[in-house]
Structure 1
Amino acid sequence: MPPKPLILGFDTSDAHCCTALLADGECVAAIYEDMTRGQVERLMPMIAETLTEGGAEFRDLDAIGVGVGPGNFTGIRLSVSAARGLAMSLSIPAVGVSILEALALHTPGPVLSCIDARRGRVYAQGFRTAAPFDAALTDIAEIPQALSQQGLRCIGTGAAPVADHLNAQVAPSHFAPAAAIARIAAERWQDAPAAPAPLYMRAADAAPASDPPPEIIP
């Protein structure tokens, strides 16, 4: 069994499914797969494969870290539900982690985490930026120029157009999403964290059907 504490991290908030196992601060196993669909069927087998690769079993886990968004509604619900269910069955804490925070982990200097939200919008959050910028869903054109500063790095799937807008650099994240989530969870799992909850930041794209409902015949 790997050394303690043993933290499992996973995320399906974007077009991927990824897991990581952290043992005493070191990543001992990780899997990342790009996918636009199929996360529902893949997540639990991937978690089991990650534990096997790391020489651990479910009962060995001390805590779970899960990406709570923002991002894909279905993916967020999947991961959060899985984390809450596993935490309850194993009697261990689950820590919800914003993907915006995970993207910026261990990147020095001012950072703007940016996740593509389509139609010229991004989910974004500033870390150590010249002007405060809390997590928000925003049009790229409306991101204030006050954030522009020397050394600003934009990270994430929406980084390139934001960097162009602010005359900033595009940089890769320091860790894969699940590894970053596990590392953040490792810092918080002993603080009696609240159960993970989805961080949607916008209304669902689904709209009511335009066809009239079927007539009910008595």
Structure 2
Amino acid sequence: MSRLVLALDTATPAVTAGVVRFGSGIEMLAERVTVDPRAHAETLTPNIVGALADAGVDVGELDAVVVGCGPGPFTGLRVGMASAAAFGHALGIPAYGVCSLDAIAAGTTGEVLVVTDARRREVYWARYRDGVRVDGPAVNAATDVPSGAAGLVGVAGSPEHAALFDLPRLAPVSPSATGLVAVVADWDAEPEPLVPLYLRRPDAKPSAVKR
């Protein structure tokens, strides 16, 4: 069965929207990516509209939505997830959530470390074997990430943060539309509710109630 899938991710500075045909294989029809860590809300919708237009797909033709659920910063992450939930609800189609780090690792071979910016001088990370997660996701200072074990062939993800590790650089730097689609566990199952992987509390805290 062939599906037309809208794939979204706002877990990293790369604001990604793509249209993918998924059936016997995964075919990228169109993808729009804008790299701006402070403009997720402003750029996601234009990227969605642009990707649909580039693919020649009407929004009513979509069969599913896939969204990266992080880990990622609170403000950016919720933009993509809220948009995916809105599309799913409005169109009556399933919305699948996946780990954004899994999407970066999709298609890699061997033992691979994936890292993205967690701010506060920390990184989000996970470790993979042939694209399958074997450790993480977690958030740590780069010096506390277990990267020295034998067998790691390289590090993918944020170039700035990958440079903190004494490992060969691998090409994937952010979740792609095809990577997001590739890591959906079961297309025939009812999708689980979308749950963000913040891994820590948001910076903003409610003020104490005065007595």
TM over 0.5: yes
Could you say what secondary structure the match of 1:152 adopts? strand
Which of 160, 164, 178 is matched with 2:163 structurally? 160
Check whether the contact 1:64–1:182 (CA below 8 A) recurs between aligned residues.
no
Separation in 2, partners of 1:45, 1:117:
26
Q: Which residue of 2 aligns with 1:46?
A: 47
Separation in 2, partners of 1:184, 1:8:
14
Comparing both structures, which one devotes a greater share of its residues to helix?
1
Separation in 2, partners of 1:19, 1:172:
19
Could you say what secondary structure the match of 1:191 adopts? coil
Check whether the contact 1:30–1:179 (CA below 8 A) recurs between aligned residues.
no
Between the two proteins, the alignment pairs up a number of residues equal to 202
Q: Which residue of 1 aligns with 2:136?
A: 134
Written as runs of structure 1 = structure 2, the 5 A alignment for 1:3-18 is: 4-18=2-16
Unaligned runs of 5+ in 1: 214-218
| One-letter amino acid of the structure 1 residue matched with residue 95 of structure 2 | A
Check whether the contact 2:4–2:61 (CA below 8 A) recurs between aligned residues.
yes
Could you say what secondary structure the match of 1:155 adopts? strand
- Describe the superposition over 1:44-86 as per-residue Cα deviations: whole angstroms up to 9, x where unpaired: 2221221111111111111111011111211111111111111
Q: CA RMSD in A?
A: 2.4
Go from structure 1 to structure 2 and tell me whether the alpha carbon gap of 1:19 and 1:93 turns closer, same or farther (over 3 Å shift).
same
- Describe the superposition over 1:111-139 as per-residue Cα deviations: whole angstroms up to 9, x where unpaired: 1111122343211111129xx52211112
How far apart are residue 22 of structure 1 and its match?
Answer: 0.7
| One-letter amino acid of the structure 2 residue matched with residue 74 of structure 1 | T
Q: Which residue of 2 aligns with 1:173?
A: 172
Unaligned runs of 5+ in 2: none
Check whether the contact 1:151–1:169 (CA below 8 A) recurs between aligned residues.
no
* % identity of equivalent residues: 31
Separation in 2, partners of 1:176, 1:125:
14
Check whether the contact 2:68–2:98 (CA below 8 A) recurs between aligned residues.
yes
Written as runs of structure 1 = structure 2, the 5 A alignment for 1:85-124 is: 85-124=86-125
- Give the TM-score normalised by structure 1: 0.83
Separation in 2, partners of 1:144, 1:42:
35
Separation in 2, partners of 1:36, 1:120:
16
| Higher Rg | 1
- Give the TM-score normalised by structure 2: 0.85
Comparing both structures, which one devotes a greater share of its residues to strand?
2
